[in-house]
Amino acid sequence: MDCTDNYCHTNSHIMYFPRCIPTKEVEATIQPTTVFCNCSNSNCEENNCACIQRSGTYYSFTDKNQLESYKIVLTNKNRPTYECNENCQCVNSLCGNKLVQCGPRSGLIVKICEESKKGQGVFTEKSISNGNFVCEYAGEVISEREALIRFKINAKKKKMNYIFCIDEYFGNKNIKTFIDASAYGNIGRYVNHSCDPNCVMMITRINDNIPVLALFACRNIAVNEELSYDYGIINKNEQSDEDTSLSTKCLCGSETCSGFLPYDTRII
């Protein structure tokens, strides 16, 4: 399926990439998915589709061809979403199990957050329902070594942070994936943190083992609301003096605000 993404960046130093792009170092580690479905009628449902059967979620919808009507339903919180992929029989059609790969929803706008000094943020011109897909967090997929170097440089220069770490466990094995949207990315790079967010980041797998970060609404969102998600869990008690110097004051304005932006201690 082609991804429809008509958004662009206003800053010419940032390249618009609708999808994640791996560095050469990461590219060498990519493994294509080996699971695919044989749903020849392009009607993928839990009782017939191998992808949905191994997925921790499924999509409910009122109209299969109206992606904005899709809502994610969680069935197993320990598993990611497995969308149908390029090896599936249903490859060129909307089958009911393709959503994130089709691109962001319409009506999203990027603008300066007037009420606080968070820089730009993503707002919606259309209401969004709980469970609706918003957009992917696209960027460069970089190695842990590269993430460490970039994070330290950014912190030193007091630059905004666009490096996201995904921590996954497969049995005892821990795999970390780092996505940096500093220079390459889509509209997802502008979504700010909130301690009381209206969206949640979910892990999706499509054509290979690289996790795709997909933002979904976790409550109904009104027209003109700013979109947000929780960047992580902060544990202030464990912060050293050095860590505190890297902390950014959180300006989410929620009653439950923890005071500082969560940052990933794994990349400090």
Ligand X SMILES: C[S@@+](CC[C@H](N)C(=O)[O-])C[C@H]1O[C@@H](n2cnc3c(N)ncnc32)[C@H](O)[C@@H]1O
CB 95 within 8 A of CB 39: yes
**261 contacts ligand X (rule: CB under 6 A):** yes
The residue with its CB nearest to ligand X is 119
**97 contacts ligand X (rule: CB under 6 A):** no
Backbone angles phi, psi at 141, to 5 degrees: -90, 115
Alpha carbons 90 and 51: distance in angstroms, whole number: 11
**162 contacts ligand X (rule: CB under 6 A):** yes
Binder among 52, 166, 250, 267 for ligand X (CB under 6 A):
250
Q: Which is nearer to ligand X, 35 or 110 (CB)?
A: 110
Site size for ligand X (CB under 6 A)? 17
**184 contacts ligand X (rule: CB under 6 A):** no
Query: Closest distance between ligand X and the C-beta of residue 29, in Å?
Result: 25
How many CA atoms, within 13 angstroms, populate the side-chain half-sphere of residue 208?
A: 11
Binder among 7, 44, 70, 118 for ligand X (CB under 6 A):
118
Ramachandran quadrant class, 75 (left: phi over 0; alpha: psi -120 to 50; beta: rest): alpha
Cα dist from 39 to 44, 53, 90, 92, 93, whole Å: 6, 12, 6, 12, 11
* 168-174 long-range Cβ contacts below 8 angstroms, 24+ apart: 168/203, 168/211
Q: Which is nearer to ligand X, 37 or 135 (CB)?
A: 135
CB 61 within 8 A of CB 69: yes
**120 contacts ligand X (rule: CB under 6 A):** yes
Q: Which is nearer to ligand X, 149 or 160 (CB)?
A: 160
Binder among 56, 146, 251, 265 for ligand X (CB under 6 A):
251
Binder among 15, 153, 160, 223 for ligand X (CB under 6 A):
160
Alpha carbons 259 and 257: distance in angstroms, whole number: 5
Structure tokens belonging to residue 51: 């992808």
Q: Which is nearer to ligand X, 32 or 119 (CB)?
A: 119
Binder among 42, 192, 198, 204 for ligand X (CB under 6 A):
192
Q: Among the candidate windows 13-21, 24-32, 198-206, 248-256, which touches ligand X by CB under 6 A?
A: 248-256
Q: What is the DSSP string of 220-231?
A: -B-TTPBPEE--
Q: Which is nearer to ligand X, 95 or 213 (CB)?
A: 213
Residues 194-213 within binding reach of ligand X (CB under 6 A):
194
| Chain-centre distance for alpha carbon 264 | 16
**259 contacts ligand X (rule: CB under 6 A):** no
Rule CB under 6 A: which residues touch ligand X?
Answer: 118-121, 160-162, 189-190, 192-194, 248, 250-252, 261
